[in-house]
A and B are shown apart, each in its own frame.
Chain A
Amino acid sequence: MSRIYEIMYLIDNDLVRAGWSQAKATASALVEKHGGHVLTARRWDERKLAYPIHRRRRGTYLLAHAELEPTGIVGLRRELDLAEHVLRYLILQVETVPEEERALTEAESAAGFSVPPPPEEAVHGADEAEEPDTDEEAEEASEGAVPAGELAREEV
């Protein structure tokens, strides 16, 4: 008996810069591979992380819902653990898919949708020693996280 799951992925910005739809497709493919049927998938946010994860300070969140057999979960987790560009994931079981998610997913597949490329950050791995807090504040001021939902734009 299939169940509905909510999956939140934290994806490395490098993969996102290469192309958002590819990134989304990669994630969805993993779910399908384990017998899942993807119901929604959308960019939730790109933001500064509360603490460095895998030496990165920013990341993009992908929120998806899928219908999946419980037996497929084990395999999916294994796959996600091994995936290089998936920094974190969270799988939860839910009763139903919220309406807004379906709508927002639609908006993403509509033509003309574009995702701003994630801001560059200092080279990872070179931190820890240097980078006083003041640098981070300058970074904060020059960008602003795009609120989820206001993403559809024309490309000029």
Chain B
Amino acid sequence: MAYDRGDRGDRMEAPSYEKLRVKDEELDYKNVELLKKCIGGQGQMFSRRRTGFSAQRQRLLKSAIKRARHLGLLPFVE
């Protein structure tokens, strides 16, 4: 049912995701199962908005994923 959105006009809303339910396991490059949950269909890393991680944890995730990719455990692109 259309109603007047006033100044919001055509602005679209950001998509909302379900955040990852990831337990507090150690973020290690060896933990491939956990890491796999944090990457998307094309191998890209999820943002903090998606993972729900704290800034510190997200940084650990980033380096874990990059190391795993270097070792051939995770893809760069799929």
Contacts and interface: CB of A to CB of B under 8 A. Distances in A.
Interface string A42-80: 001000011101000001010100000000000000000
A71 B61 CA distance: 29
A7 to B, nearest CB: 12
Contact of B70 (A44, A63, A88): A88
A16 interface: no
A29 B72 CA distance: 24
A13 to B, nearest CB: 13
Interface size class for chain B? 10 to 19
A88 B30 contact: no
A90 interface: yes
B73 to A, nearest CB: 6
Chain B binding surface, main DSSP class: loop
Contacts of B71: 8, 10, 61, 88, 90
Contacts of B30: 8, 44, 63
Interface string B55-78: 000000000000101111111100
A50 B69 contact: yes
Interface in A11-51: 44, 49-51
Interface of B: 29-30, 67, 69-76
